[in-house]
Structure 1
Amino acid sequence: MKIALFGATGHVGHAILDEALARGADITAIVRDPSRLVSPDPRVKVVTGDIAKPETWTDAVRGAEVVIVSISARRDGSNDAIPAQAAAVLDNLSKAGVKRLVWVGGAGSLETAPGVRVVDDPNFPEAWKAEALGQAKALDVFRQHKSDVEWTYISPAALLEDGPRTGKYRVGGDQLLVDAHGKSHISVADYAAALLDRVEKNDARRQRITVAY
Structure 2
Amino acid sequence: MNILLLGATGDVGRATLDQAVQRGHVITAVARRPDALVAGAPNQIKQVALDVLEMQEDLADLARNHDVIISALRPIEGQEPLLVPMTRAALGAASAADIPILVTGGAALLKLADGSGHTVLSAPDFLPDSVRPIAEACAAQDALLDTRPDVAWTCLRPPAMLHDGPRKGRYTWGQDTLVIDSEGQSEISFADFGSALIDLAEKSSRPNRRLTVAWGMAA
TM-score by length of 1: 0.92
Percent identical across equivalent pairs? 35
- Cα pair distance change 1:185/1:34, threshold 3 Å: same
Whole-angstrom CA distance in 2 between matches of 1:203 and 1:86:
22
- 8 Å contact kept, 1:67–1:100: yes
- 8 Å contact kept, 2:165–2:189: yes
Q: Give the partner amino acid of 1:106.
A: G
- Could you list the per-position Cα deviations for residues 167-213 of structure 1 after superposition, in whole angstroms to 9, with x for gaps in the alignment? 11110001111111110011111111111111112445211100011
Whole-angstrom CA distance in 1 between matches of 2:167 and 2:86:
30
SS at match of 2:80: coil
- 8 Å contact kept, 1:64–1:98: no
- 8 Å contact kept, 1:63–1:98: no
Match of 1:133 in 2: 136
Match of 2:33 in 1: 33
- 8 Å contact kept, 1:66–1:199: yes
- Cα pair distance change 1:182/1:204, threshold 3 Å: farther
TM-superposed deviation, 1:32 = 0.9
Whole-angstrom CA distance in 2 between matches of 1:52 and 1:111:
31
Q: Give the partner amino acid of 1:17.
A: L
Residue-pair matches, total: 210
Q: Does 1:51 align with 2:52?
A: yes
SS at match of 2:162: strand
Q: Give the partner amino acid of 1:47.
A: V
Whole-angstrom CA distance in 2 between matches of 1:197 and 1:106:
18
Match of 1:83 in 2: 84
Matches within 5 A, 1:73-152: 73-75=75-77, 77-95=78-96, 97-112=97-112, 113=115, 115-123=117-125, 124-147=127-150, 149-152=151-154
- 8 Å contact kept, 2:60–2:92: no
- 8 Å contact kept, 2:34–2:48: yes
- 8 Å contact kept, 2:59–2:93: no
RMSD: 1.6
Which 4+ runs in 1 deviate beyond 3 A? none
TM-superposed deviation, 1:9 = 0.8
Q: Structure 2, unaligned stretches of length 5 or more?
A: none
- 8 Å contact kept, 2:73–2:87: no
Structure 1 window deviating more from structure 2 (186-195 vs 17-26): it is 186-195
- 8 Å contact kept, 1:2–1:65: yes
Match of 1:8 in 2: 8
